[in-house]
């Protein structure tokens, strides 16, 4: 499941002089604008965004009012997030001289609210309802960059890629769709440079955490409401089977004890899927859900690779999933690949570490690997259930 790339960092420390910091950023931006190379001193998340910049921005691409109204109500999860965010954050906008802006998954601005003087300034930049505010449209900005990196971010002054935005500080964060972990939209608190403060990032992060938790609870409630009907699809008897939604959330199960959500490498687009902790299943789409029936098909090959360390699982002679490993995990699997009869924890410890008793460490490593490989690696003794090759 997708994860944020980095921990968010504020653009300005509380002990920094904003004017001196702005002069430094102006110099870095000038170097980048002139040479196209990212100079040393640019924050990692900003440098990553600058590297993504198109040769020419396409502009905000304004949408008509009827389309904006439709987008506001098109997704009940976004509508709920929007109402909750406005309730939690709007009251602080007047005191902090900032405006609250929310966009959908396409980067189209759906709501702009805040003090009139701040809104007049942003309107002069085209930062209005209906404008497309992606990185492709307007460059590095708190909405587009938060969505691109799936992480909260604060953009100060000339960290913005477009010079007309250099008098602003904007703090943005993505709204995550619990149904499939995609980005549902984003928000930003935006204001003049004098409003810059690390606490704004903390406020935005904590608020989005709460709202994203609300959305997950809504999704769980929806799944519970559908569980009885979904169980009817399975029937009272038969082989092991599951009903899941597109994001791997389990709605009903028969003959299998599973967690609330499953990781399904490659998604649910094929007729046969591999679930690391459970094995193979035949997948059939039923409306907007998927029925998974236990399959007797076996994994064809397990290939262990050194650079980078990974386990490649090929099944049905065509489909393949790849799982990253640590160097120690790769060494452990290489040993087991040469011992088809298996090894005890103590024997594996000796083979892996030489002298000393490292059985506790070995058991912990095997447990981590089994979360990925599932039935390909079994205990008592530890052994691989398929032939493995090393490349």
Confidence of residue 300 (pLDDT cuts 50, 70, 90): low
Distance, in Å, from the CA atom of 183 to the CA atom of 204, rounded to the nearest integer, reads: 16
Asked whether 159 and 25 are in contact (CB, 8 A), the reply is yes
Of the pLDDT bands very low, low, confident and very high (cuts 50, 70, 90), residue 145 is very high
- In this predicted structure, which of 73-77, 147-151, 264-268, 316-320 has the lowest mean pLDDT? 316-320
Q: What's the rounded Cα separation, in Å, for the pair 192 and 98? A: 8
**CB contact at 8 A, 109 and 103:** yes
Cα–Cα dist 334/313, whole Å: 15
**What mean pLDDT is predicted for residues 306-329?**
79
Most confident of 60-64, 311-315, 322-326, 352-356: 60-64
Angle at 187 between CA 185 and CA 191, to 5 degrees: 155
pTM: 0.74
pLDDT at site 64: 95
Which of the four pLDDT bands, split at 50, 70 and 90, describes residue 5?
A: very low
CB 203 within 8 A of CB 189: yes
Looking at per-residue confidence, does 378 or 147 come out higher?
147
**What's the pLDDT tens digit per position in 199-255?**
899 999 999 999 999 999 999 898 888 887 777 777 767 778 899 998 889 988 888
């Amino acid at each position: 499941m997708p994860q944020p790339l980095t921990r968010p960092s504020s653009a300005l420390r509380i002990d920094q002089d904003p004017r001196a910091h702005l002069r430094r950023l102006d110099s870095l931006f000038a170097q980048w604008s002139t040479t196209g190379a990212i100079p040393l001193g640019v924050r990692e998340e900003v440098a990553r965004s600058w590297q993504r910049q198109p040769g020419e921005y396409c502009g905000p691409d304004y949408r008509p009012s009827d389309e904006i109204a439709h987008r506001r109500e098109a997704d009940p999860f976004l509508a709920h997030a929007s109402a909750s965010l406005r309730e939690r954050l709007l009251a602080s906008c007047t005191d902090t001289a900032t405006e609250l802006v929310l966009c959908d998954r396409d980067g189209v601005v759906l709501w702009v609210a805040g003090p009139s003087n701040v809104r007049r300034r942003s309107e002069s930049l085209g930062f209005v309802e209906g404008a497309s505010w992606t990185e492709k449209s307007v460059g590095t900005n708190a909405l587009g960059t938060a969505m691109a990196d799936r992480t909260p971010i604060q953009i100060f002054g000339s960290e913005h890629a477009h010079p007309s935005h250099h008098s602003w500080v904007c703090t943005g964060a993505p709204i995550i769709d619990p149904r499939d972990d995609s980005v549902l939209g984003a928000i930003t608190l935006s204001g003049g440079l004098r409003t810059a403060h690390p606490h704004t990032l903390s406020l935005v992060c904590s608020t989005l955490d709460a709202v994203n938790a609300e959305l997950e609870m809504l999704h769980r409630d929806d799944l519970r409401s559908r569980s009885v009907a979904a169980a009817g699809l399975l029937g009272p008897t038969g082989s092991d089977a599951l009903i899941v939604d597109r994001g791997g959330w389990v709605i009903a199960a028969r003959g299998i004890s599973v967690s609330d959500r499953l990781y399904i490498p490659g998604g649910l687009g094929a007729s046969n899927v591999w679930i690391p902790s459970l094995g193979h299943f035949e997948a059939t789409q039923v409306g907007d859900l998927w029925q998974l029936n236990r399959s007797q098909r076996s994994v064809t090959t397990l290939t262990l690779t050194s650079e980078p360390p990974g386990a490649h699982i090929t099944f049905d002679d065509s489909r393949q999933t790849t799982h990253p490993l640590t160097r120690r995990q790769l060494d452990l699997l290489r040993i087991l690949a040469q011992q088809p009869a298996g090894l005890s924890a103590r024997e594996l410890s000796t083979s892996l570490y030489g002298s000393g008793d490292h059985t506790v460490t070995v058991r912990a490593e095997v447990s981590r690997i089994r979360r990925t490989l599932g039935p390909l690696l079994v205990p008592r003794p530890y052994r691989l259930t398929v032939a493995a090759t090393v490349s």
